[in-house]
Structure 1
Amino acid sequence: MAPKRFLIPTLFIVVLTMGAALYIFRCEKNPAGFYIDESSIAYNAYTISQTGQDEFGKPWPLFFSAFGDYKNPAYVYLLALLFKLTGPSIFIARLLSALCGVTTAGSLGLLAIRCTERNSRAVGLLVMTTAFLTPWLFELSRVTLEVALFPTTIVLFLLCLRRSADRSSWGWSDVLSLALTLALVTYTYSIGRMLAPLLAFGLLFFVSRGRLAGLIQTWAVYLLTLVPLFSFQRQNRGALTDRFHVITYIKPGTTLTENIWQFFKHYTANIDPRRLFWNGDPNLYQVAHLYNQPALLIATLILVVIGIWIVVRRPRGERWRRFIMYGALVSVIPASLTDEYFHNLRLAALPVFILFLTVPALVWLLDQRRNIRIAAIAAVLVLTVSQGAYFQYQYHRSESDSWRRHMFDADYEDKIFKVALAQQSRPIYLADAISSPYIQAYWYAAINGVPHSQLVRLRNEEAPPVGSVVISTESSCLPQSVIAQVDPYSVYIADQRSGPRTPLSEGGYRAEIQPPLSETLRFRRGQSIEMNVQVKNAGNQVWPGCKRGAATFQIYLSCHWLDETGKWSMEEGRAPLSGDLQTDSAPATNSSPRHWKQPADLSRKQTTPRSGTRELSADCADYTDSFRRVGSTLLEIKEIGVICG
């Protein structure tokens, strides 16, 4: 009897150890590289660990400003504590997320034990095993993002609630544990600001004469924890809500009926079994998900269906299980108010509730006759382990996937940052087309021991000194002296300053265009083609080429297709001149080929492309730095034949 008594605890320790090894294994190598948002969180954690200030010098911020949004504090401060002990590194940053995943899986097993009376240890072991092998939880644990901690906070809240649920009255230990874990949910991830109040409202499932006072006290203490949040929002108007206004479909002018319909569509899409158990998040750019891979396991689907059936059939006294059902339903609400369908980060609380809904099914299976019980549990284990192992195989294969390497900037450190360091010129200047890539240089400087003072961000209108080293994400305006390039980054030596510019004169906009030698374009529906259009400066003034720091009065060329009435139907892009373009009378080269990728559907007004002729025009204009048109001219119009196959 003694060996059998220790069998389940021994297996529990073995599975926990193996799960931890699985989650930590090569966490710094897969995904390869470090995503921009990871670098932002890690760098701010590093500056907090060193100076108590964020990257902008603000001491001990409640929320961290980044890329026009705000990062939540819980994960950043935890990581700062680790960096204080170990120093910054990708391994330590990813290790925190891995440990969050291990804690989530282990705590789910512990919660399952506390919620079952018969065969509790076996149920807990099965739930923990499933949690470790669940793709959704594993993928969240592989990236240095706030959301990695979010499922852990949900489980911690449920553990506290489970302890209080069996008590006839709630003392201050219950009140504080529930209120503080709700606060942790709120301050860990943005979705928690809506989900935590919904979970707090769900405590009404446990209301009774003896618990009423404790419930009110819990709400009161939780509201007190929100005072800093409300104060921050008041002092930084819109700081915590601006992002929601961008990503939601609820816009000024939309009717209540339209919004309700949109919510219904998004909610049903977010609980679509095909997304949950077959192909997951549809966004190719999702950093915490392998594209076209399931979020949950098929065995979990079978157990959840049985579990829901059992919960629905139970009498109303089953408050705990009904709260779990309620939690699963409301965990989908915040994500369903945003534009995207099945965004697995915004739905990060859902797998916790889904996995716990397997508990009633496991209890029921373990209560069956011995031969049925053994066969059923064996089938569940085989299905879970085999699919989980296959997902792990796919995940580790993805380490060399070119798209994921690009998304995580896998080559940035070796092929961009260290190349710039090798030039010996200091400081290194950072020129970005958008406001975020600079953080990669800051982070890699931190882990390579490069002083922050050796990096200088350039303003949009600022040119680097001649001879200086520049790391740039500007695809246009690159000089000839590019020494390293990995999309979207380039390293170059600044060759010349840009002098002050003025608008072109009245006669400076005259030009001619020459379409391809073959004036008939052949393509299939849906196909993209590329054609070269030669542009000639026929005016009386040189068109100055693109240079860093000359955003004001920069010359741009754009290509347009015209509809049957001669109006613009489609613009195929705007690009600055790569170099000076002389006038037609100059002896030097006086024309410059321009390249546009032209999609098959040549007019947005047409549902399908059709054969015939299309008119092509080009437009020469100079713009101020706010892209206000200063002057322009319509270049010569050319007819081009189109044959659609």
Structure 2
Amino acid sequence: MSRVDPHLPDPHLPHLCSGAGWLIAILALAGLLRLVWLDGAPPGFNQDEASNGYDAYCFLKTGRDRHGDWLPVTLKAFSDKVDHRSPVYAYLSVPSVWAFGLTHFGTRFPAALLGTVTVGLTFLLGRTLLGARGGLAAAALLAVSPWHIFMSRFAHEPSVVPFFLVAALCCLLRGTASRGYLLAGAALAALLLYNYPVTRLFGPVLLLAYAVVFRREVKERKRAFGVALALFVLLVLPLAYKTATLYASVQGRFHQISIFDEPFPKCVVLFALNYLSHFAPSFLFGRGGVVEGDFVKIAYLPMLPVMLVGLWECVRQRQPSHQLLLAWLLAFPLAASLTYPYVAAPSALRPIVAIPLFELLAALGFERCLGEAPAAAWRKLVAGLLALALAASAFFFVAHYLFVYPRHPAPGFQYGFRQALQYVAAVQGNYDKVFITDKANQPHIFVLFYGQYDPRTYQTERVEREYLPSGWWKVNRFGKYRFGDIRGVYEPNRRHLYVARPEELAGREIMPLKTVGGPGGKIAFLVVRGE
């Protein structure tokens, strides 16, 4: 008999809520917060988002990525030396790009959809670990989580990691008594490793913890667990083979940011400091982690008391569910701690495997507080006060994110390219050459994305690239497009079109065809012609 019961008794639930009704409301709220104004918040568009979107467009049209590789295990997006990234998000984006077009919304939709589904899966996971009321509390907390809302609106590889992680755990926990769920869990755990690179360390560590926590079930059902392990290994083999045969390039980005170049004593100290920084109050409840030059809040301060209670329960109790949560807590910073942090704070991307751990711990603490309350009136008071504090925190975050943040976007979202390049796409037929400023991160990908550049043409034509000292590609030209400093190529009497930063045309008498405003009233781009 499994020690994980997905239908734990919950005697207080009928007095506090109707489970199904609350779950529907939570999912509706989660969907609303992840889908409303998806094309405008975050404002601008990141080069990694554009890369995933355009590769999805290429898969849709040709079955190959933009470099001509057929259904690759990794995508060499911006370099074949240091940028072998996960293709999972690009594959997931194919249906939405087909349905909504090559747009911000179409590219971000998979993150928003799977983010909403993850809230529902968190209810199932929480119900299995904590009971029905704990599952609802965890789902509600994740629905309004600032970290998860941000990631669910960002078309980047780590954005879908929580979906695969929670889905795998749901199946594996049910798999202690069901072979079908066990095999599904093994398959999802394997797919998890194809996502963001941190999962390639975290995934095996968590699976090992799962095997230790449920060692009795593993011993009783050796054959079923052996088949599941074989399936997991079989599905991971393509990734393992590519990593082994192209190790230097597949691991190129990690080698750039890892701490292993330091002497061993310093490496140990750096790892310890990095590891502990993920538990710092400033990271968890203060400014948060860094994404694209801006801070992303991780959790709301009112969650702190119930998280501490939940953590104490995990330490105090010897239940398998609590032991698994504690192992998860200890494991989530491991991979991120092997890399140099940002100057100001840890990354908010590399510890992505912590979603929805903090919500589950808070839900466990919430459940414990309600269970200790001496009477129903006290239970309602505790629940009401916590809900009010969290609702206020969530309201201020959402209001800031949707109405204030768009006026001050993070620099990494490269605001203004959409307006400039959609105009260029409409008029470029009137010009012999189009020159795009290189005062941006990988500007060529925005030309491909906003111009919906024909994938077959890009896959077969000559693309002139050079390697930067860092190992990244700098695309200099393809087709009629050229990329560089506009100051060195501007010719006033040619049939050329230019997309420039204002400082590149300073001192020249020009009449812009289009001026693209940027944050704070500044000019982001000028579109001018040479005639």
TM-score category, normalised to shorter length:
0.7 to 0.9
Give the partner amino acid of 1:200.
L
Deviation at 1:63, TM superposition (A): 1.0
Alpha-carbon distance between aligned partners in 1 of 2:152 and 2:323, rounded to the nearest angstrom: 28
TM-score by structure 2 length? 0.81
Give the partner amino acid of 2:202.
L
Alpha-carbon distance between aligned partners in 1 of 2:184 and 2:149, rounded to the nearest angstrom: 27
Which of 233, 244, 254 is the aligned partner of 1:244?
A: 254
Give the partner amino acid of 2:259.
Y
Give the partner amino acid of 1:63.
T
Deviation at 1:386, TM superposition (A): 0.4
Deviation at 1:453, TM superposition (A): 9.5
Which of 256, 259, 267 is the aligned partner of 2:267?
A: 259
- The equivalent residue for 1:330 is 331
Deviation at 1:321, TM superposition (A): 1.2
Give the partner amino acid of 2:501.
V
CA displacement, residues 515-571 of structure 1 (integer Å, 9 cap, x when unaligned): xxxxxxxxxxxxxxxxxxxxxxxxxxxxxxxxxxxxxxxxxxxxxxxxxxxxxxxxx
- The equivalent residue for 1:409 is 414
2:381 is the counterpart of 1:366: no
- The equivalent residue for 1:485 is 500
Query: Quick check: 1:157–1:182 contact (8 Å CA) kept in 2?
Result: yes
Label 1:5 to 1:339 Cα distance change in 2 as closer, same or farther (>3 A). Answer: closer
Which of 74, 77, 81 is the aligned partner of 2:91?
A: 77
2:403 is the counterpart of 1:397: yes
Alpha-carbon distance between aligned partners in 2 of 1:216 and 1:207, rounded to the nearest angstrom: 13
Give the partner amino acid of 1:302.
P
Label 1:138 to 1:449 Cα distance change in 2 as closer, same or farther (>3 A). Answer: same
Query: Quick check: 1:27–1:142 contact (8 Å CA) kept in 2?
Result: yes
CA radius of gyration, larger in: 1
Aligned alpha-carbon RMSD (Å): 3.3
Which of 203, 206, 218 is the aligned partner of 2:228?
A: 218
Alpha-carbon distance between aligned partners in 2 of 1:434 and 1:30, rounded to the nearest angstrom: 20
- The equivalent residue for 2:25 is 14
Deviation at 1:440, TM superposition (A): 0.6
Q: Report the 3-state secondary structure (helix = DSSP H, G, I; strand = E; otherwise coil) of the residue aligned with 1:238.
A: helix
User: Which region of structure 1 is more displaced relative to structure 2, 471-480 or 393-402?
Assistant: 471-480
Query: Quick check: 1:70–1:239 contact (8 Å CA) kept in 2?
Result: yes
Q: Report the 3-state secondary structure (helix = DSSP H, G, I; strand = E; otherwise coil) of the residue aligned with 1:446.
A: coil
CA displacement, residues 146-201 of structure 1 (integer Å, 9 cap, x when unaligned): 11100111111221122134x3xxx6424412211211210121111111111121
Give the partner amino acid of 1:245.
H
Alpha-carbon distance between aligned partners in 2 of 1:125 and 1:455, rounded to the nearest angstrom: 54
| Equivalent residues in 2 for 1:149-188, closer than 5 Å | 149-165=160-176, 167=177, 172-188=179-195
Alpha-carbon distance between aligned partners in 1 of 2:281 and 2:243, rounded to the nearest angstrom: 37
Deviation at 1:23, TM superposition (A): 1.0
Comparing both chains, which one has the higher relative contact order based on Cα–Cα distances under 8 Å and sequence gaps of 6 or more?
A: 2
Query: Quick check: 1:123–1:363 contact (8 Å CA) kept in 2?
Result: yes
Q: Report the 3-state secondary structure (helix = DSSP H, G, I; strand = E; otherwise coil) of the residue aligned with 1:333.
A: coil
Alpha-carbon distance between aligned partners in 1 of 2:40 and 2:260, rounded to the nearest angstrom: 40
Which of 194, 204, 213 is the aligned partner of 1:197?
A: 204
Q: Report the 3-state secondary structure (helix = DSSP H, G, I; strand = E; otherwise coil) of the residue aligned with 1:59.
A: coil
Which of 42, 55, 71 is the aligned partner of 2:53?
A: 42
Alpha-carbon distance between aligned partners in 1 of 2:475 and 2:324, rounded to the nearest angstrom: 57
2:311 is the counterpart of 1:270: no
Alpha-carbon distance between aligned partners in 1 of 2:477 and 2:267, rounded to the nearest angstrom: 49
Larger fraction in helix = 2
Deviation at 1:215, TM superposition (A): 3.7
Alpha-carbon distance between aligned partners in 2 of 1:139 and 1:338, rounded to the nearest angstrom: 22
Give the partner amino acid of 2:135.
G
2:94 is the counterpart of 1:88: no
2:323 is the counterpart of 1:308: no
Number of corresponding residues: 471
- The equivalent residue for 1:56 is 67
Deviation at 1:220, TM superposition (A): 3.0
Deviation at 1:469, TM superposition (A): 6.9
User: Which region of structure 1 is more displaced relative to structure 2, 48-57 or 84-93?
Assistant: 84-93
Label 1:388 to 1:433 Cα distance change in 2 as closer, same or farther (>3 A). Answer: closer
Alpha-carbon distance between aligned partners in 1 of 2:251 and 2:460, rounded to the nearest angstrom: 35
Query: Quick check: 2:30–2:143 contact (8 Å CA) kept in 1?
Result: yes
| Equivalent residues in 2 for 1:341-360, closer than 5 Å | 341-360=345-364
Alpha-carbon distance between aligned partners in 1 of 2:504 and 2:449, rounded to the nearest angstrom: 15
Identity across aligned pairs (percent)? 21
Alpha-carbon distance between aligned partners in 1 of 2:406 and 2:445, rounded to the nearest angstrom: 24
Alpha-carbon distance between aligned partners in 2 of 1:177 and 1:163, rounded to the nearest angstrom: 10
2:237 is the counterpart of 1:227: yes
Q: Report the 3-state secondary structure (helix = DSSP H, G, I; strand = E; otherwise coil) of the residue aligned with 1:472.
A: strand
Label 1:116 to 1:236 Cα distance change in 2 as closer, same or farther (>3 A). Answer: closer
Label 1:414 to 1:5 Cα distance change in 2 as closer, same or farther (>3 A). Answer: closer
| Equivalent residues in 2 for 1:453-464, closer than 5 Å | 457-459=463-465
Larger fraction in strand = 1
